[in-house]
Amino acid sequence: MSALVIDALTVAFGRFRALDALSLAVDPGEVRAVIGPNGAGKTTLLDVISGITKPVSGRVMLGDRLDLTRCSEAQIARAGVRRKFQKPSVFPVLTVRENLAIGCGPDMAPGAREARIAAVLGEVGLAVRAAVPAGALSHGEKQWLEIGMVLAAEPGLLLLDEPVAGLSDAETARTAELIGRLRRPDRAILVIEHDMGFVEAVADKVTVLHEGRTLYEGGMQGARRDARVIEVFLGR
């Protein structure tokens, strides 16, 4: 059974179709990258999965039971879907630790929360920065904190929109290692990125979107050799 199935998903803004009968399936434990030119529909896809945008038709099945297109944003979050937005949205006056406490959500018991925060601080490599206000972090550290905030709730489906945008090469390499550590058999990760070196390092498979449809799906090596992908995207 797939962790996530996108089935004939169409999203329209007026007469324009941002997604056009798009279908794809992500396996449990898989890291899938969604790539493609500006305006291809990548962020729109995450907007539908997280419940911000409703499609005109199609389904988004989480496991085999829940159609996310019929759920509210809160229900989707409760089902274990967490999203990191493109711009870091940490709370600058709160410390790293306090930001992670918010990521744990209101329902976690205090003891469990402390243990979870300690674990996440280790996972994202910010243990030594725990007491620092988030506003004092570097751009890279803010990105890792925000990944930590979405990790805190132990999501089964993690959505990452351009996690290495604006990062240095060293920070990008560190983020790729971090995503490697987040892999779990019961967690699927969907990542949008324009940095193809990063995509190659983290993704099991890539889906190349173009005009709301799948142009290519498979390994990054194959994408680099695909004539259509080169024409509309990689060759530019």
Ligand X SMILES: Nc1ncnc2c1ncn2[C@@H]1O[C@H](COP(=O)(O)OP(=O)(O)OP(=O)(O)O)[C@@H](O)[C@H]1O
Could you list the residues that contact Mg ion (CB under 5 A)?
42-43
Question: What residues between 198 and 227 interact with ligand X by CB under 6 A?
Answer: none
User: Which of Mg ion, ligand X, none does residue 18 bind (CB under 5 to 8 Å by kind)?
Assistant: ligand X
User: Which of ligand X, Mg ion, none does residue 38 bind (CB under 5 to 8 Å by kind)?
Assistant: ligand X
Using alpha carbons only, what angle is made at residue 84 by residues 203 and 111, rounded to the nearest 5 degrees?
110
User: Which of Mg ion, ligand X, none does residue 172 bind (CB under 5 to 8 Å by kind)?
Assistant: none
CB of residue 199 vs ligand X: minimum separation in angstroms? 13
Task: Give the binding-site size for ligand X (rule: CB under 6 A).
Answer: 10
Instruction: Name every residue whose Cβ is closer than 8 Å to that of residue 157 and which is 6 or more positions away in sequence.
Output: 3, 4, 49, 62, 80, 81, 82, 187, 188, 189, 190
CA distance 233 to 210: 9
Q: Which residue number, 146 or 195, has a Cβ lying nearer to ligand X?
A: 195
CB of residue 232 vs ligand X: minimum separation in angstroms? 12
Q: Which residue number, 30 or 161, has a Cβ lying nearer to Mg ion?
A: 161
User: Is 13 a binder of ligand X (CB under 6 A)?
Assistant: yes
Q: Which residue number, 43 or 99, has a Cβ lying nearer to Mg ion?
A: 43
Question: What residues between 24 and 63 interact with ligand X by CB under 6 A?
Answer: 36, 38-44
Instruction: Name every residue whose Cβ is closer than 8 Å to that of residue 96 and which is 6 or more positions away in sequence.
Output: 121, 126, 129, 130, 131, 132, 134, 137, 145, 148
CB distance 55 to 13 below 8 Å: no
Q: What tokens does 158 get?
A: 């993690």
CA distance 223 to 236: 14
Strands 213-218 and 66-67 turn out to be unpaired
Q: Which residue number, 40 or 158, has a Cβ lying nearer to ligand X?
A: 40
CB of residue 73 vs Mg ion: minimum separation in angstroms? 18
> What is the contact surface with ligand X in residues (CB under 6 A)?
13, 18, 36, 38-44
